[in-house]
Structure 1
Amino acid sequence: MERWLALELASTIRHDGDGGVADDLATVDGVTRWTHAQEGLLPAHVRAGELTADDDLRGEVAELRRAVRALFARAVSPAPPSPADADHLMPADKALAHLNAIAAGQLVALQLEWPHEGTPAARLLTEERNQHVNLLAALARAAIDFLSGPQRERLRACTAPRCVRYFVQSHGRQEWCKASCGNRARAARHYKRHRVAGA
């Protein structure tokens, strides 16, 4: 299954297994752990494995996630958004402005590297030394790439009870982000049918 950085950011709000919602970015340590786990998805100039979050970065990443989830809700409309934030979504125009402002916080230039005995590769060149700015800009650019790409058309909010994730549909009839959500949804429908029939 392909991983998208924007989807990983949105998925830091998830079902906690006990009927509630967990926030992987609720603490500074949580942001640091999550960032380190995304090292393979982030551009090399971010140096995610060396980054340590502080309260300011935690708040900024969480606010960027809020904007991304609001834009994901817009992308899946007219279907309902994730129930985790459906009642307090950031307005789409504010989310769009926030995302673009964060992406513009770092100026980058695309460079081509082509060693004599190797394959050409593109890399981003930036003069920004602040790793927090690099991280935020990379996350915002990933969301822009995701929302402007073909996967946006397949973005869905999981319809399983208690699930709060967004996912990219891998086939036309997929309703759930993972098999366990499908099992939970089928069990809930079965319970509801038998409860109504027995009433």
Structure 2
Amino acid sequence: MDVDQLAVELAVTIRHDGHGGVADDLTEPAGLDRWVREHPAARIAAGPDFTADPAALAAVVEVRTAVRALFARAVLPGPPSSADAGLLPPAAQAIGRLNAASALVPVTALLDWPPDGPPAAGWAVPGGPTAGDRLTGAIARAAIAFLAGPDREKLRACPAPRCVRYFVKEHARQEWCKPSCGNRARVARHHARRRAQTAAHQD
């Protein structure tokens, strides 16, 4: 997975629960542990010994809130995810949160150029930041790279009934975050047409 996509993957930890409501995968530290294990870029950033605690969870959720606020801004003039209505900070505050999280762990560019190979760029993290700070900083930098990059223009809020996910549009005809959302939207449209036809006949 592209590191920049880490921000999208974090945003969709708020999702449709399959029963008409909204589920949050990050309500407890165990949920953050699962998410880190499932995302190699997050696992690398946090380190092999990472175990989420309440402080790390709170920091990541704060970054997620900032990311979703800026995703809502990015999809304008389209509507944002319905999960976010009235719950997000202003864009300026969200930007401040992302920048502060990124600054938790400054990174230094390094050059490696072995005698028998090509040069390669790498990164070093000076000092001894906590695993939680490393994770939060990496997610914030991924979000900044995504929002400042070309994929921001392809970001969409899924318009399917009850879906609350954001997604990156991968081809011109893609309308939904996943096929099941497209199926649900088509069924909803079919039922709406049937209701309209029934109402017209009754009149």
Q: Same fold (TM over 0.5)?
A: yes
Measure, in 1, the Cα distance between the counterparts of 2:2 and 2:83. 24
Give the structure 1 partner of residue 6 of structure 2: 5
Contact kept, 8 Å, 2:146 with 2:152, in 1: the verdict is yes
Measure, in 2, the Cα distance between the counterparts of 1:20 and 1:82. 13
- Pairwise CA distance, 1:36: 1.6
Give the structure 2 partner of residue 156 of structure 1: 156
Give the structure 1 partner of residue 169 of structure 2: 169
Change in 2 beyond 3 A, CA 1:2/1:187: farther
The one-character-per-residue Cα deviations of 1:113-147 (angstroms, maximum 9, x if unpaired) are: 23344454322101242111111100000000000
TM-score of the superposition, structure 1-length normalised?
0.93
Measure, in 1, the Cα distance between the counterparts of 2:45 and 2:88. 32
Give the structure 2 partner of residue 33 of structure 1: 34
Structure 1, gaps ≥5 residues long: none
TM-score of the superposition, structure 2-length normalised?
0.91
Give the structure 2 partner of residue 14 of structure 1: 15
The AA in structure 1 aligned to 2:158 is: C
Of the structure 1 ranges 121-130 and 133-142, higher mean CA displacement relative to structure 2 is found in: 121-130
The AA in structure 1 aligned to 2:189 is: R
Q: Percent identity?
A: 54
The AA in structure 2 aligned to 1:83 is: S
Change in 2 beyond 3 A, CA 1:17/1:115: farther
Contact kept, 8 Å, 2:17 with 2:23, in 1: the verdict is yes
Give the structure 1 partner of residue 96 of structure 2: 97
Q: Does 1:137 align with 2:132?
A: no
- Pairwise CA distance, 1:24: 0.8
Give the structure 2 partner of residue 76 of structure 1: 75
Measure, in 1, the Cα distance between the counterparts of 2:24 and 2:172. 30
Measure, in 1, the Cα distance between the counterparts of 2:116 and 2:44. 22
Structure 2, gaps ≥5 residues long: none
Q: How does 1:52-131 map to 2 (within 5 A)?
A: 52-129=51-128, 130-131=130-131
Secondary structure in 1 matching 2:41: coil
Contact kept, 8 Å, 2:36 with 2:43, in 1: the verdict is no
